[in-house]
Amino acid sequence: MATVPPVTDHLVEQVLVVPTEVFHRLGHFQGFSPDVDRYLDELLSPQHTRFMVRADAERDSEFKQLIPYCVFRYTDAAGVPHLFQYTRGRGQGEARLHSKRSIGVGGHISTLDGVEADRGDLYQSGLARELAEEVEIAAPYQMTCVGLINDDETEVGRVHLGVVHIYDMERPAVASRETDILESGFRPISELLENLDHFETWSKICLNALFAN
């Protein structure tokens, strides 16, 4: 069973990780994979997951931090698809992504979300907590888990593994709850694709893999 290492300071953040070797054994890829069934249940298995002090996890490429990456899509009456997008402010946790544009909302699964719970339930609890902290969702939606992101070509990517969820919104009613989610709102996907250079790597990967065709 996964265990939690002792921590003397309750303010030290611990995040959910899985050994990079497990990911490689399941099938390493660079970029985006739509094969959710191949990866997610095994990655969330208690025999593989553990909690690690976040500062240590950010430096240790032997582990991947599992990150829900939630993308909000709205299609208007004319059939034009839009995505929620924003600029990451300096108060957001990952300093290496500050000032980058993003289409993904989410963050780390941590000990705030439970320790002894089933890892699937823990993941869903963490996803819900991150969304509640970062955005207000004021319209019905349908959510689908569509794939995973891996990027070993950047420093931040080597220690994270993204799980992509698309929220198809009935109305474009998503708003920032955080002062460091800047310049947010829904924009046409075609416009975002024309400005890829302004986006963080994970957003570029998602835009190209899911929306470029």
* Domain CATH for 40: 3.90.79.10
| Residue 6 maps to a domain | no
* Domain with 129 in it: 14-211
Asked if the model's pLDDT at residue 152 lies above 60, the reply is yes
Confidence of residue 7 (pLDDT cuts 50, 70, 90): very low
User: Distance between CA atoms of 142 and 44, rounded to whole angstroms?
Assistant: 23
What's the domain count of the chain?
Answer: 1
| Residue 9 maps to a domain | no
* Residues 102-126, mean pLDDT to the nearest whole number: 82
| Residue 1 maps to a domain | no
Predicted local distance difference test score (pLDDT) of residue 92: 45
Are 103 and 84 within 8 A, CB to CB?
yes
| Residue 7 maps to a domain | no
The rounded mean pLDDT for the chain is: 89
| Residue 2 maps to a domain | no
| Residue 139 maps to a domain | yes
In the numeric block, which tokens belong to residue 59? 């430096």
Predicted local distance difference test score (pLDDT) of residue 180: 82
Amino acid present at 63: F
| Residue 62 maps to a domain | yes
Predicted local distance difference test score (pLDDT) of residue 89: 78
Provide the β-strand partners of residue 143. Answer: 167
| Residue 196 maps to a domain | yes
Give the predicted TM-score (pTM) of the model: 0.89
